[in-house]
Amino acid sequence: MSSESDPHVRIGDTVCSGFLFDMDGVVTDTARVHERAWARLFDEFLDERGAGDPHFTTDDYLNYVDGRPRVDGVASFLASRSIDLAHGAASDPPDANTVCGLAARKDALFLHELDAHGVDAFPGTVALIGRLREAGVPVALVTASRNAERVLTAAGLVDSFDARVDGIDVDNLALAGKPDPATYLEGARRLGLSADRCVVLEDAIAGVEAGRRGGFGVVVGVDRTHHADALRAAGADVVVSDLGDLEVRFG
């Protein structure tokens, strides 16, 4: 689906013809916004239960919700606390005491945080995207967020990608969420490339697992929260603290 004559770069010894970027924590500094929203959601929910459950922690965020679709994140965290809650339906309102209702409440909390605090893009990532596009190497955004358009617009990056797969596509195409590789495979398809010619760039353990399961050429872990060993264990070939440190050879 691509050849050595196509625009490409090398990471180590691997020829790469396309780059697939996660959004939260890789392109935009929204992971902290999400973590605050998740913490408020679950702390309020646990307090309402009145069972003395310990509050939501950063480890909970990294292990159970980071990089996953909202509904999957809710279900994963509740399972970790052995809490059984009806699944409900996608149309459930934020005050419904269901998995889908909690997911809707989290979305409202995230948008409140976004409107209150805005969002920044990581300069190292923006610079890498610019270098890749200047060299003619296609780039795609792959995220579970249904708010990708809003986040990218706030960050001034809405026109920075050749293709995008977001939470709306996940719903419309019935794509499995990370750590399943379906969204990244769809991103590669939209760039017209095979998985083995693409780089996945992720900060979430679930996203790194998706890249490894999908047979992508290189999986880059972006360690924003000091969990480099966990990213490597999940399958990252390379781990950097910022994409400005990623060694990419052009030409």
Point out the residues that are catalytic.
22, 24
Peptide bond into 179 cis (omega under 30): yes
- Rounded (10°) CA dihedral 81, 87, 92, 95: -30
Instruction: Give CA–CA dist 153/176, Å, rounded.
Output: 26
What is the residue-wise DSSP string for 108-175?
HHHHHHHHHH---B-HHHHHHHHHHHHTT--EEEE-S-TTHHHHHHHHT-TTS-SEEE-HHHHHHHTP
